[in-house]
Structure 1
């Protein structure tokens, strides 16, 4: 996952540089933004799977307490 986080950071920095150079609505900036969106969606999927796995590990009473809170 650290590879994905590093790649997200690279695309984020690239997007800001492209926006500064060509403008925020330029084709270059928007294409980079779309790549970044895709990477962020992949990160969210990964985090959701990991969180779901951890929640399954909790005993039922802990989930009940979390639900009440």
Structure 2
């Protein structure tokens, strides 16, 4: 699952850069700001899930006594 969450965060940052920002004639900034916190959240969750999966793998190998 973490293999799809982390790249989803990177995709949010890429889309943010592709859409870009603009300032209208009234001086109002228009940008897809919502993509930034979603991107950071997905990157954090992807890293956390990867760490949990790695720890589970290490613990299971120690319990079974496997060195492979």
Same fold (TM over 0.5): yes
Contact 2:16 2:36 (8 Å CA) reproduced: yes
Q: Greater strand share, 1 or 2?
A: 2
Flag the structure with larger Rg.
2
Partner of 1:22: 21
Aligned mates of 1:9, 1:37 — CA distance in 2: 9
Q: Name the structure, 1 or 2, with higher relative contact order (CA <8 Å, separation 6+).
A: 2
**CA displacement 1:5-31 (0-9 Å, x = unmatched):** 45234312212113xx316xx663432
Equivalent residues, number: 56
**Structure 2 unaligned residues grouped into runs of 5+:** 23-28, 64-68
Q: CA 1:6–1:40 in 2, change beyond 3 Å: closer, same or farther? A: closer
Aligned equivalent of 1:10: 11
TM-score by length of 2: 0.57
Extract unaligned runs of 5+ from structure 1: 61-69
